[in-house]
Chains A and B, each alone.
Chain A
Amino acid sequence: MGLEVAANRGATPKAEILAGSPLAIRGMTVSYGQKPVVFSVDMTVAEGSMTAIIGPNGAGKSTLLKAALGIVQPLAGEALVFGKPLRSARHRIAYVPQRASVDWDFPTRVIDVVLMGLYRELGLLRRLRPHHLEKARACLKRVGMTDFADRQIGQLSGGQQQRVFLARALAQEADLYLLDEPFAGVDAATEKAIIDVLKSLRSDGKTVVAVHHDLTTVRSYFDRVFLINTRKMAEGAVDEAFTSENLNQTYGGRLATGQIDQLELAAG
């Protein structure tokens, strides 16, 4: 599992870690206007792990993901995907943006959105074949949305929309899944469906990285955490890095002590 992989790697030279890591970020610095949002951040994602990116609002969590994907241009720094520059490794990444970042009134059906995940396979003009549709339907089935294939996307609930986004990412058949707040504003059934899919991806040897808000579920969902508040605050296995001390530092005392005590209790 992810933890053992990470532990084993502890002994290997640094260059080798970077080469083998699904996502290795070095010196990433991003600024919107004058203010740096992400400052000189290093991150090494362990293969086969599930990592939660945690930090307060505006701490640069989403921006870090976007910079790694080349969606925002960093001032400095680079991201290596399976040891290669982004350009030659895009096909190995699936990305789930924040649900609120798109206009759900867009005139399209659920199945069409999932088919967008096949863009790299289809290219500009390749014909859509029955097996493409079958693949898209299989992805919808994995997130429990089979019956909604022909619905207009605006008719879905927030949780259903999030599942469609996940199905689109599944259609990409990637090795590294980057998700931006996949549990934001979804119902309990959807949260369960999504975490089940993510865990099954991990058991297939895939790597999952998600921006995550709910500190109470970190321990049960993820095996690694990455704490960020513009700078990297901590990184490592949940047991080692998800500590009250690190959380206090990351949130700058904005977490009530009661909350942290609860998290400690949850840890048992």
Chain B
Amino acid sequence: MSGEEFVPLSLTPMLIGVLAAVACALPGNFLVLRKQALIGDAISHVVLPGIVVAFLLTGMVAAAPMMLGAAGAALVSVVMIEAIRRLGNIEPGAAMGLTFTTLFATGVLLLEQSDTSTVHLDVEHALYGNLESLIWLDAIGWGSLLDPVALAGLPPELGRVVIALLGVCAFLWLFWRPLVLSTFDESFAQAMGVATNRLGVALVMVAALAAVAAFDAVGSIIVIAMFICPPSAARLMTNRLEHQVAWSVVFAVLSAVLGYVFAGYGPLWLGFGNAVSAAGMIATVSGVILAFTACFAPHRHRSGAPAV
């Protein structure tokens, strides 16, 4: 693959895929350990109507309104869950499932009814992402990386996902100790004076930031795979949290790169004509990695807390 072909067509989608996967996998480590992995799923569902409404109101696909829309939708979902739970006398899990699917479906309907033909915002892209279309047409080869004119033409999604990843890293770096403490032993953390509730909300907000950024690249549904698969596979590799986080980054990068390459070239190798969805393949690869670690990783047999 030559630079003239690779840089404009594959470099930016691959980079965005990698950064989005890492941005989701990092907070995913804590979500999985807190047994809140499905919050990632919930976020990815609620984000859709929020983004669509933000687009309908502002007429543009930009980071700030999208984040606000997603945050607004999250707020609406919390109110809805409480209302359904109390008024309908329905158990919390069912109320959550009901709320998230309903909001997601509303997002799909809104998308179909609105005129989004000018931008990359339609049902298919919302579900599967539009990684392949995030190309860098101003680039003519590796030299373009040093060409300010060409750099100005980088897809805006790249900047968005970089900002999200930086935000995620800053949050984890700053709050690493209280996060670990409250994830392992919440009451001890509270006794130490850690504001565990606020920290928990902050973690979910950071995960939402990653989800919104990744929405562009891998789509709403597949975000969940990036939250769960790399951290879960990483947990099987090690018994130390620092190492687990490092492994999760390795697996996220591996999923994104391999997924992108297999999606583009795999069908050709197998004799089929067309490439398949890169986002779909990335999620599949992350699942395969998890399956592989579940069979062969060093720490897959865990004793838990044995009785005396």
Binding site for B on A (CB under 8 A): 66, 69-71, 87, 90, 93, 95, 97, 100-109, 112-113, 116, 119-120, 122-125, 152, 154-159, 161, 168, 185-187
Contact = CB atoms under 8 A, between A and B. Distances in A.
A123 to B, nearest CB: 8
25 contacts: A69-B187, A69-B191, A90-B191, A90-B192, A97-B187, A102-B184, A103-B184, A104-B305, A105-B302, A107-B33, A107-B240, A108-B184, A108-B241, A109-B240, A112-B240, A119-B178, A124-B178, A125-B174, A152-B240, A154-B239, A154-B304, A157-B306, A157-B308, A158-B305, A185-B308
B177 interface: yes
B270 interface: no
Contacts of A123: 177
A154 B302 contact: yes
Nearest to A116: B181
A93 B191 contact: yes
A107 B175 CA distance: 18
A71 B308 contact: no
B133 interface: no
Contact of B304 (A87, A105, A112, A125): A105
B93 interface: no
A124 B191 contact: no
A132 B178 CA distance: 17
A109 B177 contact: no
A107 B238 contact: yes
**Which 6 A-B residue pairs are closest in the complex by CB-CB distance?**
A104-B305, A152-B239, A95-B191, A158-B308, A69-B191, A71-B190
B190 A186 contact: no
Interface of B: 33, 174-178, 180-181, 183-185, 187-188, 190-194, 235, 238-241, 243-244, 302-308
A68 to B, nearest CB: 10
A104 B240 contact: no
Nearest to B196: A71
Given A116-B181, A122-B177, A108 B240 contact: yes
Contacts of B178: 119, 124
Given A103-B184, A116-B188, 16 more contacts: A70-B190, A90-B192, A95-B187, A95-B191, A97-B188, A97-B191, A100-B305, A106-B184, A107-B33, A107-B235, A107-B239, A119-B181, A124-B178, A157-B308, A158-B308, A168-B188
Contact residues of B: prevailing secondary structure: helix
A97 B180 CA distance: 16
A29 B259 CA distance: 57
Nearest to A102: B185
A5 B235 CA distance: 52
A61 to B, nearest CB: 14
A106 B180 CA distance: 10
A154 B303 contact: yes
Contacts of B304: 104-105, 154
A66 B235 CA distance: 32
Contacts of A156: 305
Contacts of B181: 116, 119
A131 to B, nearest CB: 18
Nearest to A190: B308
B169 to A, nearest CB: 14
Contacts of B307: 158, 185
Nearest to A172: B192
B241 A107 contact: yes
A172 to B, nearest CB: 8
B198 to A, nearest CB: 14
A121 B178 CA distance: 13
Contacts of A93: 191
Which of the listed residues B185, B243, B302 has the most CB atoms from chain A within 10 Å of its own CB? Answer: B185
Contacts of B241: 106-108
